[in-house]
Amino acid sequence: MVTHEHGRRRFLQMLASSPALAGGIGLGSLLGASSPAEEELITAADQAVNVLEFEAVARKNLPPWHYAYIATGVTDDSTLKANRDAFGRYQLHTRRLVDVSKVDTSVKLFGEVWETPIMLAPVGSQRAFHPEAELVTARAASAQKHNFIVSTHSSTSIEGVNKVMERPAWFQLYPTDDWNVTRAVVKRAENAGCPVMVLTVDSQNGALRDTLFKVRRSAPVKCTDCHIGGFTYNAVASRRPMFAGLDLSKVTTQLPLNMTWDVLPRLKELTSMKLLIKGIVTKEDAALALQHGVDGIIVSNHGGRSEDSKRASIDCLPDVIAAVNGKVPVLVDGGFRRGTDFFKALAMGASAVCIGRPYLWALAAFGQTGVETMLTLLRKELQIDMRQAGAASVKQITGEFLVR
């Protein structure tokens, strides 16, 4: 039997001796080209100076094929890279001698107050990163008072997650191509107490995740040994708790290719949950989303893992904010890693910001303590940046603080 550690070592040796496999940001980082030496890795969550330090530990702890699932973008990973690089184009116009003795990071969304605008984005299959999967993330988010959006593809049921959270999580929907299934899943999330549903519209089956596919191809274990039935959408759905007990015989895709804007009023008819749309990156689509009745928008390119637009989320945000003109909250995700990143999005007018990979790294590195510490670090960075810039509350973080 090939253990993960044994498989990982063999795999890295093989990859290192195979120049044909090199190339692409993901593979380079899988090889540890730009990563700290083993002795420089943090060994406990409280040693982390910033959230980026969790990544190398996650890479060490996970089998490469699971780490690659986190790391991958699409094609040459350039949209993934764009999400980070773009922050460098915006600078802070900081002010002095402002009373920042008390800094208030709270935000109000859909009538609920959150102590922080930093939220956990929906990420499926978290059992690949920790045996207790979303339960650990949920406990950490709840303990640190952050919102958590649970994926349709979670490894844990929405009921299980909500049981360990002080406030019920938000639910992210992949509608599938069978409306009976959609209806049942939506009802289940509503019955579990979720106040908000997020429809993801930016991720078709078959994204060109070259980095992931190269690693899978070269893996010394067969992915299908664990992923029984393989990676067709029907097989994937049949393994997800959210679809348990449903007839999936007609389900072939997570996002039907013929789905158009009328899905929004149809979903609103099904549920009293607030409806957000995730994956909007243009002013035109923001306007259409509003016309079709959404309660909020998440600007996102799926962390650079869906289309190869090469356009960063933070660059799309101002267009969407302008089109929405304050009518509904606009959230954003994609590449947010430092306090100043959050500050910049808030200055552009975002109501909240979601993170994906940082909490997966922390989860794989140190479990619940890792995720809690990672969240504490991000909150602390945002507070320090607010003080340093001269903004005592999120409301005070306006466009005046940004220079491009």
Ligand X SMILES: Cc1cc2nc3c(=O)[nH]c(=O)nc-3n(C[C@H](O)[C@H](O)[C@H](O)COP(=O)(O)O)c2cc1C
Please say which residue, 11 or 361, places its beta carbon nearer to ligand X. 361
String marking each residue 9-38 x if it binds ligand X according to CB under 6 A: ------------------------------
Q: Which of 124, 329, 339, 367 binds ligand X (CB under 6 A)?
A: 124
Asked if 381 and 56 touch (Cβ cutoff 8 Å), the reply is: no
Query: For residue 323, what are its two tokens?
Result: 């089109």
Asked if 363 and 136 touch (Cβ cutoff 8 Å), the reply is: yes
* 130 near ligand X, judged by CB under 6 A: no
Q: Which of 285, 333, 372, 385 binds ligand X (CB under 6 A)?
A: 333
Question: CB neighbours (10 Å) of residue 42?
Answer: 17
Q: Which of 130, 209, 214, 278 binds ligand X (CB under 6 A)?
A: 278
The residue nearest ligand X at its CB is: 356
Q: How far is the CB of 17 from ligand X (least distance, A)?
A: 28
Encode 342-361: b = buried (16+ Cβ within 10 Å), e = exposed: bbbbbbbbbbbbbbbbbbbb
3-state secondary structure of 118: strand
Residues 85-114 that bind ligand X (CB under 6 A): none
Please say which residue, 178 or 333, places its beta carbon nearer to ligand X. 333
Please say which residue, 65 or 396, places its beta carbon nearer to ligand X. 65
| Contacting range for ligand X; rule: CB under 6 A; set: 18-26, 134-142, 268-276, 327-335 | 327-335
Question: CB neighbours (10 Å) of residue 192?
Answer: 18
Reduced DSSP (H G I as helix, E B as strand, rest coil) percent helix, strand, coil of the chain, to 5:
50, 10, 40
Question: CB neighbours (10 Å) of residue 311?
Answer: 17
Q: Which of 335, 349, 370, 390 binds ligand X (CB under 6 A)?
A: 335
- What residue type is 56 in one-letter code? A
CA dist 25 → 29, 31, 270 (Å): 6, 10, 42
DSSP string, 203-235: --TT---HHHHHHHHH-SS-HHHHSTT-SSHHH
Sequence-ordered list of residues with C-beta below 8 angstroms from that of 50, at least 6 positions apart, any chain: 337, 338, 377, 381
Residues 346-365 that bind ligand X (CB under 6 A): 355-357
Q: How far is the CB of 117 from ligand X (least distance, A)?
A: 14
Q: Which of 26, 63, 64, 303 binds ligand X (CB under 6 A)?
A: 303
| Contacting range for ligand X; rule: CB under 6 A; set: 51-59, 116-124, 236-244, 284-292 | 116-124
Catalytic residue among 130, 153, 292, 302: 302
Beta-strand runs (E) in 286-327: 296-299
Please say which residue, 26 or 335, places its beta carbon nearer to ligand X. 335
Q: Which of 139, 153, 216, 292 binds ligand X (CB under 6 A)?
A: 153
Sequence-ordered list of residues with C-beta below 8 angstroms from that of 42, at least 6 positions apart, any chain: 48, 53, 54, 57, 365
Q: Is 130 a catalytic residue?
A: no
* 300 near ligand X, judged by CB under 6 A: yes
Please say which residue, 332 or 391, places its beta carbon nearer to ligand X. 332
| Contacting range for ligand X; rule: CB under 6 A; set: 99-107, 122-130, 134-142, 286-294 | 122-130
Q: How far is the CB of 19 from ligand X (least distance, A)?
A: 28
* 54 near ligand X, judged by CB under 6 A: no
Asked if 254 and 203 touch (Cβ cutoff 8 Å), the reply is: yes
Asked if 170 and 195 touch (Cβ cutoff 8 Å), the reply is: yes
Please say which residue, 129 or 396, places its beta carbon nearer to ligand X. 129
Please say which residue, 300 or 396, places its beta carbon nearer to ligand X. 300
Number of H helices, E strands in the chain: 16, 12
Residues with catalytic roles: 302
Contact residues for ligand X, defined by CB under 6 A: 69-70, 83, 121-124, 151, 153, 172, 200, 278, 300, 302-303, 333-336, 355-357
